[in-house]
């Protein structure tokens, strides 16, 4: 039987960080981005209201929506987010919060997430090396890497104190400049006590100013594969990226045309919701731009049933647009393995 859909919900546009490579662009290039359908920006002018979000959630059933990844922008800097998370849990959804980690420095916020039994919290940190991380993940407040690490430690400490089941992990954006740091970063976050460490190759449009400096290409395939191998050989005792996802990453780094994805989960089991409420089959810009305007959908005023019930989901979802822009979705769709893994005991950690 087909399960409820997985939603990647970019709940809010604004963010307290200014990562130079962010999918949402930088504040400086906002004007240029707003004209393209599906383009994201950190300006929250058109973001849906809390009222609209809660109405939509009230229509969800586990049969039509099983799991929601709540991301952004930065979801944990909006006051409405806790109500959204509580409402999602009340509807029986599994909820994974994707955050830059800075807000987790607040004890009360960590307590609230644990009280809600959030299923997992994924925190972004690109390196064990503060200087590298803070160069690309810019923080005007000056906290940066140190604040994120403190946020991770605060959440882990509270989770362990109350033996809560929330999984805690780190996501690292991999570029040609931190490729060689993968194992050291994995070891660093394992020592912090996280449950999972996921590497995600940077996705940049070929006309992005940082494309040449950061993107991984076919010439980086071998080094990427060697780092993944070394990461597994390091026996860090934490969950690493799923092999099928790594295989897809390697495919995007292979020379020649990319394969057609037969019966892709995008539009069938996975959907992407933008901060303005637009609903797409997946977050790939190529896919969004090829969506005919007659197929544009929004969750504003719609019911989850009308958008994601089995009858409404795609059947012929072969896709010719596979690229680095969508490859991270393979890991999201393998999240069962993370949610069901046994946590290491205190003794195993010593």
Ligand X SMILES: C[S@@+](CC[C@H](N)C(=O)[O-])C[C@H]1O[C@@H](n2cnc3c(N)ncnc32)[C@H](O)[C@@H]1O
Phi, psi dihedral angles at 324 (to 5 degrees): -65, -20
| 124 contributes a contact to ligand X by CB under 6 A | yes
Q: Which lies closer to ligand SF4 via its Cβ, residue 4 or residue 275?
A: 275
Q: Which lies closer to ligand SF4 via its Cβ, residue 47 or residue 269?
A: 47
The entry of ligand X, ligand SF4, none that residue 202 binds, CB within 5 to 8 Å by partner kind: ligand X
Q: Which lies closer to ligand SF4 via its Cβ, residue 17 or residue 194?
A: 17
62: Cα within 13 Å, side-chain hemisphere: 7
Q: Least distance (Å) from ligand SF4 to the CB of residue 41?
A: 11
Q: Which of 5, 7, 15, 279 binds ligand SF4 (CB under 6 A)?
A: 15
CA dihedral 184, 185, 189, 190 (to 10 degrees): -40
Burial of 224 (0-12, 13-18, 19+ CB in 10 A): buried
3-class state of residue 3 by DSSP: coil
Q: Which lies closer to ligand SF4 via its Cβ, residue 42 or residue 313?
A: 42
Phi, psi dihedral angles at 20 (to 5 degrees): -70, -25
| 71 contributes a contact to ligand X by CB under 6 A | yes
| 200 contributes a contact to ligand X by CB under 6 A | yes
Residues in the chain: 350
The entry of ligand SF4, ligand X, none that residue 181 binds, CB within 5 to 8 Å by partner kind: none
For residues 24 and 40, the answer to whether their CB atoms sit within 8 Å is yes
> What does the per-residue mask of binding to ligand SF4 show for 23-62, with x meaning CB under 6 A?
-x--------------------------------------
Q: Least distance (Å) from ligand SF4 to the CB of residue 317?
A: 28
Q: Give whole-number Cα distances, 346 to 85, 113, 156, in Å.
A: 29, 22, 12
| 202 contributes a contact to ligand X by CB under 6 A | yes
Q: Could you tell me which residues are beta bridge partners of residue 12?
A: 72
Q: Could you tell me which residues are beta bridge partners of residue 95?
A: 68
The entry of ligand X, ligand SF4, none that residue 203 binds, CB within 5 to 8 Å by partner kind: ligand X
Spatial distance between the Cα atoms of 337 and 208, rounded to a whole number of angstroms = 34
| 17 contributes a contact to ligand SF4 by CB under 6 A | yes
Q: Least distance (Å) from ligand X to the CB of residue 9?
A: 11
Q: What does 227-296 look like in DSSP terms, one character per residue?
A: HHHHHHHT--SSEE--HHHHHHHHHHTSSSPPPPBTT-SBTTTEEEE-TT-EEESSS-HHHHHTS-GGG-
| 100 contributes a contact to ligand X by CB under 6 A | yes
Q: Which residue shows structure tokens 């800075």?
A: 102
Spatial distance between the Cα atoms of 221 and 334, rounded to a whole number of angstroms = 22
Q: Least distance (Å) from ligand X to the CB of residue 323?
A: 12
3-class state of residue 330 by DSSP: helix
Q: Which lies closer to ligand SF4 via its Cβ, residue 102 or residue 231?
A: 102
Q: Which lies closer to ligand SF4 via its Cβ, residue 181 or residue 200?
A: 200
Footprint of ligand SF4 on residues 69-128 (CB under 6 A)? 72-74, 100
Q: Which lies closer to ligand X via its Cβ, residue 175 or residue 317?
A: 175
Q: Least distance (Å) from ligand X to the CB of residue 211?
A: 10
The one segment of 71-79, 182-190, 272-280, 311-319 that binds ligand X by CB under 6 A: 71-79
| 74 contributes a contact to ligand X by CB under 6 A | yes
Q: Which residues bind ligand SF4 (CB under 6 A)?
A: 15, 17-19, 22, 24, 72-74, 100, 137
């Amino acid at each position: 039987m087909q399960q409820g859909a997985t939603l990647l919900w970019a709940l809010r546009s604004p963010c307290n960080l200014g990562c130079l490579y962010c999918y949402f662009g930088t504040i400086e290039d906002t004007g240029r981005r707003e004209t393209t359908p599906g383009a994201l920006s950190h300006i929250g002018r058109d973001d849906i209201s809390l009222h609209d979000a809660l109405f939509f959630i009230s229509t969800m059933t586990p049969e039509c929506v099983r799991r929601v990844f709540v991301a952004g922008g930065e979801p944990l800097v909006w006051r409405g987010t806790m109500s959204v998370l509580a409402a999602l849990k009340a509807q029986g959804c599994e909820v994974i919060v994707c955050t830059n980690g800075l807000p987790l420095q607040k004890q009360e916020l960590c307590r609230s997430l644990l009280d809600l039994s959030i299923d997992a919290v994924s925190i972004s940190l690109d390196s064990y090396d503060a200087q590298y991380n803070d160069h690309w993940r810019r923080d005007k407040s000056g906290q940066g890497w140190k604040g994120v690490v403190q946020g991770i430690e605060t959440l882990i400490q509270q989770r362990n104190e109350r033996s809560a089941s929330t999984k805690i992990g780190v996501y690292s954006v991999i570029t040609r400049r931190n490729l060689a740091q993968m194992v050291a970063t994995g070891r660093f976050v394992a020592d912090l006590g996280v449950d999972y460490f996921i590497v995600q190759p940077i996705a940049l449009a070929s006309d992005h100013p940082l494309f040449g400096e950061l993107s991984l290409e076919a010439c980086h395939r071998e080094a990427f594969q060697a780092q993944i191998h070394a990461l597994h050989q390091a026996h860090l005792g934490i969950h690493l990226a799923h092999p099928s996802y790594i295989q897809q990453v390697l495919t995007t780094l292979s020379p020649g045309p990319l394969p057609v994805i037969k019966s892709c989960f995008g539009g069938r089991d996975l959907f992407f919701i933008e901060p303005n409420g637009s609903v797409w089959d997946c977050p790939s810009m190529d896919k969004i731009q090829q969506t005919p305007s007659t197929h544009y959908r929004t969750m504003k005023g719609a019911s989850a049933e009308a958008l994601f019930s089995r009858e409404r989901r795609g059947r012929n979802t072969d896709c010719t647009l596979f690229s680095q822009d969508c490859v991270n979705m393979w890991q999201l769709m393998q999240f069962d393995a993370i949610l069901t893994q046994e946590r290491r005991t205190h003794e195993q950690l010593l």
